[in-house]
Chain A
Amino acid sequence: AQKITQTQPGMFVQEKEAVTLDCTYDTSDPSYGLFWYKQPSSGEMIFLIYQGSYDQQNATEGRYSLNFQKARKSANLVISASQLGDSAMYFCAMREGTKYGNKLVFGAGTILRVKS
């Protein structure tokens, strides 16, 4: 079974508008962490935001926020005021406890294109 599911292969958004990238996850471990990464065409993975399974509030980092709905096992990324430089591939990833070390399991990714 897929651990991380990103159902949107590609998304378009108008510059300055907000966009939501979907992510659902599957785990039976009560302790887990959820990450979002951005990968521009250069290939480097850039960390955006983290949400822990025990965190009571949704994580926010500048223009990025994570809409964490634990009961629905979803961790959607919201990018506000989109910029042309936000065009990239976005990956949702999960770390299940620490028994697997720092291993991250990634979703298939969503390509985001920001239109001017």
Chain B
Amino acid sequence: KAGVTQTPRYLIKTRGQQVTLSCSPISGHRSVSWYQQTPGQGLQFLFEYFSETQRNKGNFPGRFSGRQFSNSRSEMNVSTLELGDSALYLCASSLELGLNTEAFFGQGTRLTVV
């Protein structure tokens, strides 16, 4: 069974550009969450999608957006990139919504903004 796949693994972008990251969840999983990991702020929740609907959003500016497709694949977009957006972006997929539902993470996309 394939795990969570995130593409690309590495990205280098220039300030002001925009970027789109992709996440393919485990087959059958309907929940996809995104997290940003930086040395200074640690792991922070960005947003979660379930059956193509955004269920929850973290405290990030509107430059960060996402969507989920009918096949549960998800993309997140960051517009007008800033140096502080350099981070490891992790995607997690879950089978369903639930207190004890395990989240399976991908290997992440490491974004560097120069």
Contact in complex: B101, A102 (CB < 8 Å): yes
Contact in complex: A43, B103 (CB < 8 Å): no
Contact in complex: B100, A102 (CB < 8 Å): no
CB-based A-B contact count at 8 angstroms: 73
Main secondary structure of the interface of B (DSSP, over half): strand
CB-CB nearest in chain A for B43: A106
Contact in complex: A47, B56 (CB < 8 Å): no
Contact in complex: A33, B99 (CB < 8 Å): yes
Q: Residues of A contacting B104 with CB < 8 Å?
A: 47
A-B contact pairs, 27 of them (CB 8 A): A35-B102, A35-B103, A42-B107, A43-B88, A44-B105, A44-B106, A45-B92, A45-B105, A46-B105, A47-B104, A50-B100, A50-B102, A52-B99, A93-B43, A95-B99, A98-B98, A100-B56, A102-B33, A102-B55, A102-B98, A103-B33, A103-B58, A104-B33, A104-B35, A104-B92, A105-B45, A107-B42
